[in-house]
Structure 1
Amino acid sequence: METTPNRTSEMKQYKHIFFDLDHTIWDFDKNAEETLHELYHVHQLNAIGLTSANLFIETYTRHNHQLWAQYHLGEISKDELREARFKKTFIELGLHPDTIPADFEDAYVKLCPTKTNLFPHAHETLQYLQQKYTLHLISNGFKESQQLKIAGSNLAGYFQHIIVSEDAGVNKPDKAIFEYALNLAGAAKYESVMIGDSLEADVYGALHFGIDAIYFNPFNAPQPNDVPVQITHLKELTLML
């Protein structure tokens, strides 16, 4: 954990903590991997030429991350993201478009949000923070999927407000979604902090809006010089907040 010199004293002033959900609390990649392994066998992808489940998952993950980055920035729509991620994956792996399973995306969207893998110490950390702060979620994820994830993982009780970009009308990092969230929470900028894994959407989005941010960096990617605070484990929050 790296902080600016007097960061601990500043953090004691917070009243509201805004969390991202996917890749921050809910382990998106682990849940997606479980889902894709199941669907690989259910849809018998081996029989249509995809002989490696792991290569299929790696290829999908790369395309999905790229498309989500575009979605965060408003470059593509929800429907475009959902239409493209498996199509790009299958075609890159050599399948003709006519052989792509027609209902694969729908099956994925139904199954994946029911998975319940969270990052280590998620419940423990949220229980601790809930006693000291008012917690909220701000997510760019799709509303119906996020509702399933939150309910299935028993997360709803921690958060006073759950803000989904579809309701706000804009995605992180747009300043408008942070303004929407703070107005809904009745929170001032100086008493609020955003915690998330996405440098662009969560960290820079919050900082450019004028609230503090903590970068959740579980895979120890290089920490940019202009990111003042990062954690690699959620439990670190119980020591610093």
Structure 2
Amino acid sequence: MKYQHLFFDLDRTLWDFDKNSEKTLQQLFRDYSLQNTFGNFLFFKSRYEYHNKKLWLAYYQNRIEKEELSYRRFYLTLKEAGLDDIDLAKEIAQDFIDLSPLQTEIFPNTHKCLEYLKNKNYQLHIITNGFNEVQGRKLQNSKLEKYFSQIITSENAGANKPHAQIFEYALKQTGAEIEKSIMIGDDLSTDIKGARDMGMDHIYFNPKKAKHDEKLTFEIENLKELIDIF
């Protein structure tokens, strides 16, 4: 077989981050009676996602630490709606971290695909930019943990995708050779760019059929297509 080690991203590749995040935000919206501040959930969600996206970019660029990212996305959202309360923001942030990994929505055919690959004796691993205390619980609660030999996090590697350091760390931890490895992920700017810059083959998971002009090793819209590739 050409490949021996298959490296998967987690969020938005296997674990449906958008659905699970929305469920968690809905619970927080109810628990903290945020309708009194925001009026409706969609407004709260849209402003949170705006600030969250900007802060994650800052985190990737090493301009903020994860602790600041965690609470500041809620602080800025609340402040924008006229509620300047950093203690409340930190309380909500902790609840988000506690509740989010309990959600178990995964993409269609995730188990079918991983079971097939595992039975074909591929070595499966995770490479994720997510936080240590959250990602392991996501895998466990979604019953995905059993498929993977190594869980590589950006915190343990000391660098985020697409930095070469996290891929080098992953190869060292797994004993994988780059020529026999492939990266599967949904993000062109982190998963795919990082792998391509390393000279690693890659599979772009594009369920929303986003248009692009990237040259890729493979592209799929459904995880079941991995069965045809491997």
Q: For CA contacts below 8 A with separation 6 or more, give which structure has more relative contact order.
A: 1
1:219 equivalenced with 2:208 (yes/no):
yes
Q: Aligned pair in 2 of structure 1 residues 223, 229: CA closer, same or farther (>3 Å)?
A: farther
> Residue type matched to 1:137 in 2?
I
TM-score normalized by the length of structure 1? 0.89
CA distance, structure 1, for counterparts of residue 197 and residue 40 of structure 2: 43
1:30-74 CA-partner distances (Å, limit 9, x unpaired)? 101001111111110112x21110121122123223322332333
Q: Of the candidates 38, 44, 47, which is equivalent to residue 27 of structure 2?
A: 38
**1:101 aligned onto 2:88:** yes
Identify the residue that residue 173 of structure 2 maps to in structure 1.
Answer: 184
Match of 1:166 in 2: 155
User: 1:198 — aligned with what?
Assistant: 187
Aligned to 1:89: 77
Alignment-mate amino acid for residue 65 of structure 2:
S
Q: Which of 110, 115, 130 lines up with 1:141 in the alignment? A: 130
| Alpha-carbon distance in 2 for matches of 1:69, 1:198 | 13
- Check conservation: 1:72, 1:171, Cα contact below 8 A: yes
| Displacement after TM superposition at 1:193 (Å) | 0.3
- Gapped regions of structure 2 (runs ≥ 5): none
Which aligned segments of 4 or more residues in structure 1 are displaced greater than 3 angstroms?
Answer: none
1:183: how far off? 1.3
Secondary structure at 2:38 match in 1: coil
Q: 1:111 matched to which residue of 2?
A: 99
Which amino acid is 2:62 matched to?
A: G
- Structure 1 distance, partners of 2:142, 2:64, is 29
The answer as to whether partners of 1:17 and 1:194 remain within 8 angstroms in 2 is yes
Aligned residues: CA RMSD: 1.6
Give me the whole-angstrom Cα distance separating, in 2, the residues matched to 1:191 and 1:128.
19
Q: Secondary structure at the match of 1:96?
A: coil
Pairs aligned (count): 228
The alignment's TM-score, normalised by the length of structure 2, stands at 0.93
For residues 42 and 217 of structure 1, what CA distance do their matches in structure 2 show? 34
The CA deviation string for residues 131-159 of structure 1, in whole angstroms up to 9 with x for no partner, is: 22110001110001011101111111101
Contact 2:75/2:85 (CA < 8 Å) preserved in 1? no
